[in-house]
A and B are shown apart, each in its own frame.
Chain A
Amino acid sequence: MDSHDLDLDHDSVYDGLLGGDASQWAFGTDFEDPLAGVDTTIPAGVDGAVLAAYCLMLGDDALVYAHRLSEWTSNAPDLEDDIALANISLDLLGQARLLLARAAAADPSVVPVLPDGSPVPPEDALAFFRDESAFRNVRYVEAPNGDFGVTIARLLLFSTHRLALLQRLAASVDPVLAAIAAKGVKEVTYHRDYAGRWFVTLARGTEESRRRLVAGLATVWPMYAELTRCSDVEARAAEQAFGVDPATVGDEVDAVVEHVLATAGIERPDVPASGTGPLGRTGRHSEAMGRLLAEMQVVARAHPLGKW
């Protein structure tokens, strides 16, 4: 038997991607299932279809926001923030991968059907081969990045909300979702601290940085309300004790945001919430979503068999 020199194995950055079949490198790391070896049995009292729909919501929030944040790569104000935003994006992408895989395991019918012989694993099929109306992320995460002030304001509200959700989901009756959430808590804690610190820094910085932050907060504030509206799926997920009604974390999020605003010396924006009822959660997205998906999906869709 040939023996492997692990140092030589690492000589090419593509080796880890190639896996078994070098002709199909576009899809994956050959680590086919991020939930390999995890018991994905659906717990008693949980409806697999609702569990899948709920995991798509949490997973799509992470996936779409990860894509948006990745647009900062090579464009951030300085190298440290370039790397920070890319790392936050990577953490969210990892959460998305696990959540989409959980959705596919709970209800395989949510996964788009691909041509025979396609090597695309379920979580990639969900990410790259669903149409806009099948995505369940909130509109809040699909909106364009804007400047750094908008980005920091958006990240503060998003990560505060997601951290509160994940903390509760760590007690989900679905052990897989509970484990994904518990892991995510550690990551999102760093995201919230990053956003909170920059929020205070920009607020207390120059007139220009403060002006941009205030404008950024006014931009994202009306959209934030959507995160706290409970869709039918989330209500059923909460009833079945594997999910959380997002409205119930509102006060907790508000207390954290109030603390940041007070520290920063910034007034709570006096602007009404935009839209009513669940928007993105029912597949009704904004204009920005189509463009985002076009960029994210174009290569995968052109090559559904992963070879060219």
Chain B
Amino acid sequence: MAATVTDPEMPMLTLVDLGVLRDVDESGDRVTVTITPTYSGCPAMATMRDDLVHALQDAGYDEVDVKVSLSPAWSSDWITEHGRDRLRAHGLSAPGPAPTGPIPLTLAPVRRAIDCPRCGSADVRLTSEFGPTACKAMYQCSTCLEPFEHVKEI
């Protein structure tokens, strides 16, 4: 049941697709769900918590606990293959592999090998590393000219 709850900002994704749902522990009519925040300041966390409580109460659990797990920190690598397909199907570009190891300073514009989720063109340009939510960058396709959102690698 918990697996059906969706992200309030990207409703095409369930919390499982997003990799936010970490654990479900069921005992009798009590259930404890563990989620992890994507970004420290993500305001969607409260809504996700409320939605989980509502969905599980509807499913008949009298007591629903939602716990937060901070470690290990969420990574965009945890978005499932199904989640990536759903993002693309809804016109968003899925993240590439998250960076690992030492952190380089990137003074040139970020080059990501991504395709326009609408027309498939690889001729796209970054318009902003920060988008309408903490987890997205803004792109524009130079072929079909449509702007689109890219879920960032973290």
Contact = CB atoms under 8 A, between A and B. Distances in A.
Interface of A: 1, 3-4, 6, 9-10, 15-17, 19, 29-31, 34-38, 80-81, 83-84, 86-88, 90-95, 97-98, 163, 167, 175-176, 178-180, 182-187, 189-190, 192-194, 196-197, 200, 256, 259-260, 263
B55 A6 contact: yes
Nearest to A184: B40
A256 to B, nearest CB: 6
A192 B104 CA distance: 10
B66 A36 contact: yes
Interface of B: 5-6, 8, 34, 37, 39-43, 45-47, 49-51, 54-55, 57-58, 60, 65-74, 99, 103, 105-110, 127-132, 134, 138, 152, 154
29 contacts: A1-B57, A4-B58, A6-B5, A9-B51, A16-B47, A19-B46, A29-B43, A30-B50, A31-B49, A35-B70, A37-B69, A38-B68, A81-B128, A87-B131, A90-B134, A91-B40, A91-B134, A98-B70, A176-B70, A182-B72, A183-B73, A185-B103, A187-B40, A189-B99, A190-B152, A193-B129, A259-B107, A260-B105, A263-B107
Contact of B105 (A83, A95, A259): A259
Contacts of B70: 35, 38, 98, 176, 179-180, 183
Given A16-B50, A178-B71, 4 more contacts: A15-B50, A38-B69, A90-B134, A182-B72
Contacts, number: 144
A199 to B, nearest CB: 8
A248 B154 CA distance: 26
A175 B72 CA distance: 11
Nearest to B74: A183
Nearest to A81: B128
A190 B110 CA distance: 11
Contacts of A187: 39-40, 154
Contact of B131 (A10, A83, A163, A189): A83
Contact of A1 (B58, B74, B138): B58
A200 B108 CA distance: 9
Contacts of A178: 71
Given A36-B66, A179-B71, A179-B73, A6 B129 contact: no
A196 B46 contact: no
A72 to B, nearest CB: 12
Contacts of A260: 105, 107
A30 B154 contact: no
A51 to B, nearest CB: 16
A186 B109 CA distance: 18
A229 to B, nearest CB: 24
Contacts of B109: 197
A286 to B, nearest CB: 26
Contact of A31 (B39, B45, B73): B45
Contacts of A6: 5-6, 51, 54-55
